[in-house]
Amino acid sequence: MGLETMHVTLRFFGDTEEARVPAMIEAVKALGQGRAAPPVRAAKLEGYPELRRARVVVIDLEDPSGVLGEMARLGERAAVAAGFPPEARPWTAHLTLGRSRRVPIDLRHAARRPFEPWWGHATSVTLYSSETAREGAKHTPLVTVPF
């Protein structure tokens, strides 16, 4: 995974009717306009559903300014207003490193190793169209608002 594809998901929509896309584009524009680049801190390696049988490998992020969390809440509100069902799971800031579709991975040993936290900044908010394929998901930006 290259830096150009790393992203923090604020809201996943799933299959979406084309008629709903313009409202979400406008919501993304509103989320990003006039914001300073929020800082993030990579905190620890994590695996879902759990470390001993992870199918998704992530780096948990800290959101010290609270900006990403606020954007996730506002994005959720816009999604529900556009007719999407409310998200059942609580939002967490994380970078997805990879997925294992066939065999779960035991990450307990890796998670115990020292993790050197690092700081960075989010650079933009983007609405993506995603298509799954055998090689992995293809993300096409529909609108990007730089911070």
pLDDT tens digits along 95-117: 888 888 889 999 999 999 988 88
The top-level CATH class assigned to 3-146 is alpha beta
Cis bond upstream, residue 85 (ω within 30): no
Residue 15: band (very low, low, confident or very high) from pLDDT cuts 50, 70, 90: confident
pLDDT tens digits along 40-53: 999 999 999 999 99
Helix (H) or strand (E) holding 30: helix 21-32
- Would you tell me how many other CB atoms lie within 10 Å of the CB of residue 72? 21
Query: Would you list the domain boundaries of the chain?
Result: 3-146
